[in-house]
């Protein structure tokens, strides 16, 4: 039997689709970015539907300042402090992050206890930890924990607390209280921004307390950051460089910054 009112049905579908576009735009405006996978879960539709929606939005004047990126969409001319969701930043500076991860593993030893921070560089480090034996690792990122869970020779502890959707880090007061039970040989800390004058700063307050606690419970701290993050400053201060043994970064770092960090007591490893 044919639809008695196809025009009404089409109008309803148009309104429903437009509501979803508005919802997508609201998420991207609030976060500064969004991955296709996150939007698909958020809107309860397929990823292919989200990709079509993004194409439509880019062609419309109603959704200004949108910019497509690999894996998702961002607000163009977004502020420097807008955090990218995990899926969108994973391939940024990927060769540099891989080199940093390889160097970190060379600084570790069989049987160590390690606290591993959240983020894409830390996931790449986690993937290489099976090269060592007898490790005990505290993970503060569910993707990192999932990776470590595949290695039978690594004893993995997952920090409890809240999970930041689409970013996958664990944070909040419960996480900090949980971590206070432990003492580890080495903490590996990632950073959104690192500057010789301003220290380590972060784009989100969510992870700051956990990063500070990881540094507190460790005998030594290794800071990892690719050179694109050096000389930058974000809103939330994590720490100065007191207690940090070394910075591992890539060869894109200028000699001026190398000297400045070494003057502050850090060993600087360029990879």
From the list 116, 49, 229, the residue with the least C-alpha distance to 57 is 49
Please state the pTM of the whole predicted model. 0.75
Q: What is the DSSP string of 148-207?
A: HTT-TTSEEEEPPSEE-TTT-BEESHHHHHHHTT--EEEEEEE-SEEETTTEEEES-STT
pLDDT of residue 8: 47
Predicted confidence pLDDT, tens digits, the chain (271 residues)? 455 555 444 445 556 788 999 989 888 888 888 889 989 999 999 999 999 999 999 999 888 888 888 888 888 755 444 577 767 776 778 899 999 999 999 999 999 999 999 999 999 999 999 999 999 999 999 999 999 999 999 999 999 999 988 888 999 999 999 999 999 999 999 999 999 999 999 988 999 999 999 999 999 999 999 999 999 999 999 999 999 999 999 999 999 999 999 999 999 999 9
Q: What are the C-alpha distances in Å from 252 to residues 128, 198, 247, 264? A: 23, 20, 14, 20
Q: What is the DSSP string of 238-265?
A: EE-STTEEEEEE-TTS-HHHHHHHHHTT
What residue ranges define each of the domains in the chain, with the CATH number in brackets?
6-78 (1.10.10.10), 94-270 (3.40.50.1360)
How confident is the model over 10-22, as pLDDT tens digits? 445 556 788 999 9
How confident is the model over 230-242, as pLDDT tens digits? 999 999 999 999 9
How far apart (Å, rounded) are the C-alpha atoms in residues 202 and 83? 9
pLDDT of residue 77: 56
pLDDT of residue 12: 54
How far apart (Å, rounded) are the C-alpha atoms in residues 214 and 120? 17
């Amino acid at each position: 039997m044919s639809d008695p009112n196809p025009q009404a049905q089409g109008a309803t579908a148009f309104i429903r689709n437009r509501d979803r576009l508005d919802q997508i735009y609201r998420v991207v405006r609030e976060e500064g970015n969004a991955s296709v996978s996150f939007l698909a879960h958020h809107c309860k539709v397929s990823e292919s539907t989200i990709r079509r929606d993004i194409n439509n939005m880019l062609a419309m004047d109603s959704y200004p300042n949108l910019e497509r990126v690999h894996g998702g969409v961002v607000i163009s001319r977004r502020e420097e402090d807008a955090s990218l969701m995990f899926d969108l930043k994973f391939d940024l500076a990927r060769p540099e992050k891989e080199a940093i991860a390889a160097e970190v593993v060379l600084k570790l030893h069989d049987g160590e206890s390690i606290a591993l921070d959240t983020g894409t560089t830390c996931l790449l480090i986690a993937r290489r930890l099976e090269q060592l034996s007898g490790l005990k690792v505290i993970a503060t990122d569910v993707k990192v924990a999932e990776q470590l869970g595949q290695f039978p020779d690594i004893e993995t502890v997952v920090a409890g607390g809240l999970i930041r959707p689409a970013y996958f880090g664990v944070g909040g007061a419960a996480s900090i209280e949980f971590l206070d039970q432990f003492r580890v040989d080495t903490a590996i800390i990632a950073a959104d921004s690192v500057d010789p004058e301003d220290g380590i700063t972060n784009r989100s307050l969510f992870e700051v307390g956990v990063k500070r606690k990881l540094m507190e419970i460790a005998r030594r701290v290794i800071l990892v950051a690719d050179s694109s993050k050096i000389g930058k400053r974000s809103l939330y201060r994590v720490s100065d460089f007191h207690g940090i043994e070394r910075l591992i970064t890539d060869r894109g770092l200028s000699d001026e910054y190398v000297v400045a960090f070494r003057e502050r007591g850090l060993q600087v490893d360029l990879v």
